[in-house]
Amino acid sequence: MAHDVAALAVELTDMAAADHRSSIRANSDDPAEQLAWRRLTARHGDRLGEIMDEYGWPTADLVGEEAARAAWLIAQHADRQLDIQRRALRLMEQAVSAGSAGQRELAFLRDRTLVNEGRKQVYGTQIAGVKDGTPLPWPCEDPERMDELRAEVGIEPFDEYVAKFAMA
């Protein structure tokens, strides 16, 4: 079992590294690049589904910090696999309740899943686009309380968060 978990940790971190290398394709003008990105994230989403079947949510206690973060990233990018994203969200909520996963990552996954369902997000973590050089969030349930809700889960205020992207 220990060997299986070690191999799982390596597999998850390798998947995240491949995701990172390929993420530029997501917004490419080249349809072949976009397709390659979709293929990669779908394959990773399928594999995450199998991992959740076998292990539940891959927490840091189980696979280590880096691999747990990798699992979260894979769930974040499973945008066309809502069943996988919803399951990851449920399992991660249980892990957060048990103190074995972080609220900040859970908040990002919750927003991502809500937006993919066509609903309003809670924390304003998902950016819809840029207008006049300013990143704009997808609609939020309670925009006046967005920064307060972000603070509760350890996310910096929206303006500070988007300042990181403004220069890009």
Average pLDDT, stretch 101-113? 97
User: Would you place residue 99 in the very low, low, confident or very high pLDDT band (cuts 50, 70, 90)?
Assistant: very high
Measured CA to CA, the distance from residue 129 to residue 20 in angstroms comes to 21
Percent of the chain clearing pLDDT 70 (strictly above): 96
Q: How many helices (H) and strands (E) does the chain have?
A: 8, 2
How do the domains of the chain map onto residue ranges?
2-101, 127-166
If you ran DSSP here, which 8-state letter would residue 153 be given? Answer: T
10 Å CB burial of residue 9 (0-12, 13-18, 19+) is: buried
Dig out the tokens for 48 from the structure: 């995450």
